[in-house]
Amino acid sequence: MDYTKTLLIIASISSLLLSINAVPTTRSVIPSYGASSPTASRAGSLIGLSAIFKNAQAKAKQQVIRVSPKLISFCKNTENPALCAETINPYFQGQFNPIVALETEIEATLNQSLKVSNIIAQLLVHPSKEAVSALKICKSKYKNIVYTIKEALELLSQQNVVDAYYKFSSVLVHRSSCEDAISQSPGVENPFAEESLIVYQLGGNCMAILDGIINSTLRF
């Protein structure tokens, strides 16, 4: 049984995963963060790491986290392994099933996207003149994101991992379009920068996991 092999990890899991993640990689499944320059993209992932690191440290202080070695290995090739393990772990039970774990990460991306959608809807109640057109673009982009993620989940439920991968890849494109609309609006600061960064990180994790499943399937 997996239970007997479950590791009891105190405070070290997040930093362990982070030290793996801290090695800079040249490969990225994600197009861009915010503006489309490579420096902006690098800054984006650095912000992500430090945010998660703070999160992980705060969490580690409060609780002992049990994470199955299978989940650690499942998450280790993602760009944000600590976030991956953290989001899937609460839903993990019984035998480890990579498709179920992937569905959980996709659902976490869906939930986070709905959260951003709600923020946008609230902002559109009394939008500033400078922000209104970007917010409208973002509203429609996030509507597409939510719809696309649901379609990807549907494809996955039909065991169609390859089409789910292609479908899902547009999630990150839509997200970038929203970020670009905001960064190109003079004087407008992104009011949901943090929430949208998490969409980017979770979405990137889903892409890496889909990529890994497709690769290992092709190898057999």
Interface with ligand NAG (CB under 6 A): 77, 91, 104, 107-108, 111, 208, 211-212, 215
Instruction: Count CA atoms within 13 Å of residue 49 on its CB side.
Output: 17
- Residue with Cβ nearer ligand NAG (12 or 216): 216
DSSP string, 84-141: HHHHHGGG--SS--HHHHHHHHHHHHHHHHHHHHHHHHHHTTS--TTTHHHHHHHHHH
Least distance in Å: CB of 4 to ligand NAG? Answer: 26
Q: At which residue do the structure tokens 């503006």 appear?
A: 35
**Residue 153 to residue 107: CA distance in whole angstroms:** 8
Least distance in Å: CB of 199 to ligand NAG? Answer: 13
- Residue with Cβ nearer ligand NAG (106 or 120): 106
Nearest to 143 by CA among 154, 153, 135, 133: 135
- Residue with Cβ nearer ligand NAG (113 or 176): 113
Least distance in Å: CB of 41 to ligand NAG? Answer: 18
Least distance in Å: CB of 13 to ligand NAG? Answer: 19
Decide if 14 contacts 57 (C-beta within 8 A). Answer: yes
Least distance in Å: CB of 212 to ligand NAG? Answer: 4
**Residue 94 to residue 81: CA distance in whole angstroms:** 21
- Residue with Cβ nearer ligand NAG (76 or 139): 76
Query: What is the Cα 133 distance to its own chain's centre?
Result: 26
Least distance in Å: CB of 29 to ligand NAG? Answer: 8
Nearest to 116 by CA among 153, 184, 164, 171: 171
- Residue with Cβ nearer ligand NAG (171 or 208): 208
- Residue with Cβ nearer ligand NAG (127 or 212): 212
Decide if 182 contacts 188 (C-beta within 8 A). Answer: yes
